[in-house]
Amino acid sequence: MKLAVGRSAACAMFLLGSASPVAAQEKWAPWLELGGFYGSSDTSRGEAVLWVPLAQGATSLLFGEMRGKLFEDDMREGNFALGYRQMSSGGWNLGFWGGYDIRESQFGNTFRQLTGGIEALSDRWDFRANAYLPLNDSENLFRASSFVTTAPVLEFTGSTIGLVTNTTTTTISQDELALWGIDAEIGAKLYATPLDLPGPRHELRVYAGAYHFDHPDLPDSLTGPRLRAEWRVDEILGEWDGSRLTFEGEYSHDDLRDDRFEIGARLRLPFGAEGRSAYASRALTAQERRMSEGLERDTDIVTDTRTTSTTTDSTATEAVEDAETGVRFDRVATVDATGDLTTTSSTAGANSLIIANGDAGALVGEHTIEGAQTLMGAGSTIEVRGTTSGTVMAFTAEGSRPTFQPSAGAGGDQVVLNTASDTHVTGINIAGATSSAYPMIYGIVLADGSDNVLIDDVDIRTLTASGIFIGEDSSDVTVRNSSFFDLGRIVGNTYGGILIRDRARDITLTNLEMSGVFTGIFFGRNSEATLSDSTIHGANGSGLALVIRGDATVSFTGLTVSGAFDQTISFFGGNILVIDAGTGGTTVAGTGNTIAPGTTHTNAFCDSGSWNGSFEFDGTTYTDADC
């Protein structure tokens, strides 16, 4: 930037100098003025001015002026102007000028502006007005932002659910501003020594004016008075015609910068063609001498700084997913007895949360939910997780816990609720009837090959078939915190609480309560399951607590079997049975119940296949016991 200002100044000096006429008869010669000023508020500066006539006639003058200024704090400025003056009758010189300014501020910013003015000068009076228009009026000095983000809040609105966070952003910015403005002044000569006296001539001139500078981003303008005075000593160098020493003082005031003072001195040195003495300064009239006055204008591009603080609030909604199954909830749908769950689920599609509300009564008939969905009953709670942040929060649906019922008198088998992979069912009741007039009625049926399924907090009762049916080749299925009552009790029906079909793997059953079931849990061939912290209670002295088909692997811990069963555990050959006492122990309990064959249990452990071996339970070794 410094190099650019220097080059601009050099070019301007060359052009102005080369354009200057050199004819001996010319009235007005170029001059160079050097000065120094001391000012309050860091306005002290050194200054050099080159004034050059470009074209002149007997009563007219086209001139150029270039100023270079060096302020405190390494601030620099250059002013380039082109002016015209015309002598008129009555002793007045009328003129106008236009210019270009460039300034390098103390902060290293570069500002440019256009300037211009009009003037009327006589021997005694001065009238002038100027205007200043920045070409770039703002440069940033500093900007920093801080962020405060609230803890996420789970919001459910209409068909959407998400984690909502509010972020407050506070931005502090400091800018350097260049101000547009105007100024004007009136001056008067109060004292002067006569022209015919030998030696230096003295003049006292005083000026009164005002200025107004402003910027849209400043709270207040810079508006106020300006007073200044000049004591001029012409021909200060006796042999140097036109030389001048000027002492100057200035005072200004505005609300933003308060009082400001400036004092200084300037030495003017004319130069030009040979024969200049023919038009020596004393040979010119008072009106002619005023034609070579320098331009009077504001000393610099007026700048100021502004510090602002802005605060903005933004809200972001993060998508959530089922924390258990990982299914994202792109939408939420609701259904009650006045609607149809199957239609609602199909319309919502995958990645949906379905809320069933029992306020309008039971939901009757067969129902199906699509894969990659969560069905939750109103009044129940699930955990959702932010898909980006991983934040886990509880969501409770408003309303009453729903009950699903089969259609009375419908022919053929019925399934109250069909499900598929990536589903989560929680917070519902399923209830039917035990009358033999009903067909086979299942509670929840998982299609063959289902994967990633959670059934939680369901209450299933009074159905003629199994409460939960897990299809073949299913995997990663969990049933927990659920109750099963009066299931599979039609004559000839061997189903009951939970039926696990062949090759179902990674099946987890925990915290289950079964009572009045014909068969508690049926494990199909080649299935793998874990059963823990559960109670199975028989009712009528027939049926089986656990049925384990061939080549199944089942682990027990914390299991209590009570009541009356024909067979407690029935094997069909090739099984692996693991009984882990665990923290709560595994017991076969109930008044009058024994592990060995007795009056209540015909066979405690029944080998219906070709299993040969023994296992130890509570210190007693049991061997093959054919049923």
- Residue 431 to residue 416: CA distance in whole angstroms: 9
- In angstroms, the Cα distances linking 305 to 299, 308, 605 are 18, 10, 92
Question: Taking the domain 414-623, which CATH number applies?
Answer: 2.160.20
Q: Give the phi and the psi of residue 343 in degrees, each rounded to 5.
A: -65, -40
Give pLDDT, residue 128: 98
Does residue 77 carry a pLDDT above 80? yes
Q: How far is 503 from 470, CA to CA, in rounded Å?
A: 10
What is the percent of the chain where pLDDT is above 70?
Answer: 80
Contact in structure between 179 and 304 (CB atoms under 8 Å):
yes
> Residue 130's closest CA among 114, 146, 147?
114
Task: Compute the distance between CA of residue 62 and CA of residue 86 in angstroms, rounded to an integer.
Answer: 9
Q: What is the DSSP string of 16-52?
A: HHHHS---TT-S---EEEEEEEEETTTT-EEEEEEEE
* Separation between Cα atoms, residue 526 and residue 573, nearest integer Å: 11
Give CA–CA dist 110/107, Å, rounded. Answer: 9
Least confident of 20-29, 119-128, 352-361: 20-29
Judged by average pLDDT, the poorest of 78-92, 479-493, 557-571 is 557-571
Kind and range of the H or E element at 287? helix 286-289
Neighbouring-strand partners of residue 395? 382
Enter the tokens of residue 464: 């003629």
Query: What integer pLDDT is reported at residue 411 of this predicted model?
Result: 56
CA distances, 417 to each of 368, 369, 462, 580 (Å): 6, 8, 15, 34
550 pLDDT above the threshold of 70: yes
| Model pLDDT for residues 31-45, shown as the tens digit of each residue | 999 999 999 877 899
With CA atoms as reference, report the closest residue to 537 among 457, 599, 600, 481.
Answer: 600
pLDDT computed for residue 308 by the predictor? 86
Beta bridge partners of 145: 171
Q: What confidence tier does 72 reach under pLDDT thresholds 50, 70, 90?
A: confident
Q: What does the pLDDT average to over 125-138?
A: 95
362 has a pLDDT exceeding 70:
yes
Q: With beta carbons less than 8 A apart as the criterion, state whether 152 and 392 touch.
A: no
Domain boundaries, the chain: 2-140+175-306, 326-405, 414-623
The confidence score (pLDDT) of residue 412 equals: 58
Q: Residue 567 in contact with residue 606, Cβ under 8 Å?
A: yes
User: Is the pTM value of this prediction over 0.75?
Assistant: no
Non-local CB neighbours of 289 within 8 Å, separated by 6+ positions: 281
Contact 568, 601 (CB under 8 A): yes
Of the chain, the percentage scoring pLDDT greater than 90 comes to 58
Output the average pLDDT for the chain. Answer: 83
Residues of 581-607 as b/e, b for ≥16 C-beta within 10 angstroms? eeeeebbbebeebeeeeeebbebbbbb
- Residue 601, pLDDT > 60, answer no
Distances (CA, A) of 434 to 236, 302, 484, 491: 128, 95, 13, 10
Per-residue exposure over 119-128, b if at least 16 CB sit within 10 Å of its own CB, e if not = bebbeeebbb
pLDDT of 213 over the 90 cut: yes
| Both structure tokens of 557 | 């811990």
Looking at residue 163, what is its pLDDT?
95
Per-residue pLDDT band for 591 (boundaries 50, 70, 90) equals: very low
Q: What is the DSSP string of 489-527?
A: -STT----SEEE-TT-EEEEEEEEEEES-SEEEEE-TT-
pLDDT value of position 256: 81
Distances from the Cα of 143 to the Cαs of 146, 172, 174, in angstroms? 10, 6, 6
Distance CA 317, CA 158 (A): 14
Task: Quickly count: other Cβ atoms within 10 Å of residue 18's Cβ.
Answer: 9
What's residue 220's pLDDT?
87
- Smallest CA-to-CA distance from 32 within 60, 77, 80, 67 is with 67
Instruction: Give the pLDDT score at 537.
Output: 83
Q: Are the C-beta atoms of 519 and 547 separated by less than 8 Å?
A: yes
- The CATH topology of domain 2-140+175-306 is Porin (2.40.160)
Confidence check: pLDDT of 315 > 70: yes
pLDDT of residue 92: 97
Paired tokens of 98? 């236009």
Q: Output the six-digit token pair for 627.
A: 């049923």
**Mean pLDDT (whole number) for 233-259:** 90
Strand segments (E) across 135-238 = 138-149, 153-157, 160-178, 180-192, 201-214, 222-234
